[in-house]
Amino acid sequence: GGCTKPGCTVGAYGCQVHHVVTDWADGGNTNVNELGLACGPDTRSVNPTDDGWTTAMNERCEVEWTPPPQLDTGQARINTYHRPE
């Protein structure tokens, strides 16, 4: 495994746990089904209140990353680098 942001190749060793559903600073729970891996720079890029990236957990328990409108080019929302099909 590794960083879940699409296009990122940082392995798990270089990542930290990211609160996917609700950020810890906003009262998010530290439940395993609400967490994903993200490297430091990608964790800091998540900021839903200030035109930053947002994250959500889909029905397959994959972290989906949604870019801010100004960066949205229809790119992938899920990183498959660490989990090739």
pLDDT tens track, the chain, 85 positions: 899 999 999 999 999 999 998 888 888 889 998 999 999 999 999 987 778 899 999 999 899 999 998 888 878 798 988 876 6
pLDDT for residue 28 = 86
pLDDT for residue 82 = 81
Task: Identify whether the C-beta of residue 51 lies closer than 8 Å to the C-beta of residue 58.
Answer: no
pLDDT for residue 41 = 96
User: Two tokens at 14?
Assistant: 């270089």
C-alpha to C-alpha distance for 9 and 69, rounded to whole angstroms: 24
Whole-model pTM?
A: 0.85
Residue 15 forms beta bridges with which residues? 39
Q: Phi, psi at residue 3, to the nearest 5°?
A: -55, 135
Residue 11 forms beta bridges with which residues? 2
| Helix or strand (DSSP H, E) at 64 | strand 63-66
